A = this chain, B = another copy of it.
């Protein structure tokens, strides 16, 4: 995944959600993301793709950053500017080298390794790095409001 210094984009803050890294929270989180994507003007297809990307990002935090310990917090920031929705998923697990977060080669009949691949294909930009505060790993994603642009 692209190595980037994660900076706060110039954008309007919509909402900020904090929740424990537990799989049973994800349906609620997705409902909020769905609602925010619609608020930003995305149609059903665009909304689905944003929800899936955030779902995969949180899943990676649950499985890899916290290795299934359900008590670590996940922070989800949702922002928008005129062009895009911006979503930021932060975990407070040990530092991860951005180069370690790579989609595996897509092989037809092998479960797993799809999450990062999905995220990169669903969103227009994806950047993984340390948070500006130095605490936690951040996956920042954005998607253009009008994909024809």
Give, as a whole number of angstroms, the nearest-CB distance from A21 to chain B.
Answer: 12
**Number of chain A residues close to chain B: CB under 8 A:** 19
Please give the count of copies of this chain that the complex contains: 2
Q: Which of A14, A28, A31, A39 has the most CB of B within 10 A?
A: A28
Q: Flag whether A25 is at the interface (Cβ < 8 A).
A: yes
Residues of B within 8 A of A3 (CB): none
User: Considering the chains assembled together, what is the distance between the CA atoms of A110 and B108 in angstroms?
Assistant: 66
Closest Cβ–Cβ distance, residue A15 to chain B (whole Å): 5
If A15-B17, A15-B18, A17-B18 are given as contacts, then 18 extra A-B residue pairs at C-beta distance below 8 Å, sorted by A number, are A13-B20, A14-B25, A14-B28, A15-B19, A15-B28, A15-B29, A16-B17, A16-B18, A17-B17, A17-B32, A27-B39, A28-B32, A28-B39, A31-B31, A31-B32, A31-B35, A32-B32, A32-B35
